[in-house]
Amino acid sequence: MTTDRSELTSRVIPQMVLNERPAPPPPLPQDSAPAARAAARFALQGTAIVTGGAGDLGLATCRALLEHGLQNLVIFDLHGPEQADAAMQGLQADFPQANIVILRVDVTNAEMVNSAVAAAVQMYTSIDILICLAGIVSTVHAAELPPETFRKVLDVNTTGSFLCAQAVAKFMIRSGKGGSIILVASISAHRVNFPQPQVHYNVAKAGVLAMKSSLAAEWARYGIRVNSISPGYMNTILNEGDGLEECRKIWASRNPMGRMGEPDELTGIIVLLASRAGSYITGADFIVDGGQSVF
């Protein structure tokens, strides 16, 4: 909602409120064995929503969450349960005690997002973790970039992340329990990629970084932590194909570790941010790129 120019000088703007009485999490049980305390530090409980959860990064993330004890997993994916059935069966077979469901959700559709979050709450009564992995990438020279492509990339990567975070945060605020929201930015949010031209993707991911900081500031009072990760070039289907061979060589040549990352190499920081181990981390971004961005 915009303010009419004639009313600008008389308007009263809303103000953020900080958490005036923050309480740290209860201490780990000192009477437990060291191994048990170590496990408890990174243990995950309750319900997590993972958007884009049927993709390469999404499945690696889902598996890591379940390995650390998550009971309820809700996957939002544009393609729905039909195309993700094999992946679902694999997860359920490996974690028979977990409740796993996949919902067809277009993250750019606010009504669909809100309905899916409501369905998750109805199924499991709580949402404790949100991980926004849904996204698209496109490479086009800026002078030739169609406006609709620019808008689409921002809509999925930036607006879609916001809609999911907003829907989940509304529930977390009502529940009074707080939670952890993890957005996925990119090294593309920090500096220009080479050699591929992708101004729209870079802008979209820079928007995710700004969103992370803004939401962390607003929602800390509710016990909601908001952080982001910025992956480098990952070994997923988005970076496969003979047509990308030359680009992969250039990326590796400009990386201190000389290679692309594997999906599982993102999961450590995700578990940290989702668990008690990350209880004093909010508003932070973690670059996971093998050193790509140091140059």
Token readout for 283 is: 């508003």
In a domain, 21, yes or no: no
Token readout for 29 is: 């049980």
In a domain, 165, yes or no: yes
pLDDT tens per residue, range 15-46:
888 887 778 888 888 878 989 999 999 999 99
Question: Whole-angstrom Cα distance, residue 282 to residue 295?
Answer: 27
> Which one, of 146, 237, 252, lies nearest residue 199 by Cα?
146
Question: Whole-angstrom Cα distance, residue 234 to residue 52?
Answer: 15
**In angstroms, what CA-CA distances link 97 with 84, 94, 267?**
20, 9, 21
- Asked if residue 3 has pLDDT above 90, the reply is no
pLDDT band for position 83 (cuts 50, 70, 90): low
Model pLDDT, residue 17: 87
State whether residue 146 is helix, strand or coil: coil
Residue of 205, 222, 233, 275 marked active site: 205
- Asked if residue 213 has pLDDT above 90, the reply is yes
Model pLDDT, residue 280: 96
Note if 201 is an active site residue. yes
Note if 152 is an active site residue. no
Residue of 186, 188, 228, 275 marked active site: 186
**Residue range of the domain that includes 39:** 35-287
Question: Whole-angstrom Cα distance, residue 203 to residue 193?
Answer: 12
288 forms bridges with which residues in the sheet?
A: 231
Q: Apex CA 215: angle with CA 209 and CA 220, to 5°?
A: 130
Q: Apex CA 27: angle with CA 226 and CA 21, to 5°?
A: 55
In a domain, 16, yes or no: no
Q: Apex CA 130: angle with CA 267 and CA 106, to 5°?
A: 105
Question: Whole-angstrom Cα distance, residue 231 to residue 263?
Answer: 10
In a domain, 6, yes or no: no
**In angstroms, what CA-CA distances link 95 with 30, 65, 74, 83?**
29, 11, 14, 20
pLDDT band for position 1 (cuts 50, 70, 90): low
Model pLDDT, residue 98: 95
In a domain, 26, yes or no: no
In a domain, 58, yes or no: yes
Question: Whole-angstrom Cα distance, residue 149 to residue 140?
Answer: 9
Residue of 201, 222, 230, 275 marked active site: 201
Q: How many domains does the chain have?
A: 1
In a domain, 12, yes or no: no
Provide the CATH number for the domain around residue 231: 3.40.50.720
- Asked if residue 204 has pLDDT above 90, the reply is yes
In a domain, 47, yes or no: yes
Average pLDDT of the segment spanning 198-204: 97
- The CB density around residue 211, as the number of other CB atoms within 10 Å, is 20
Quote the mean pLDDT of the chain.
92
- Asked if residue 70 has pLDDT above 80, the reply is yes
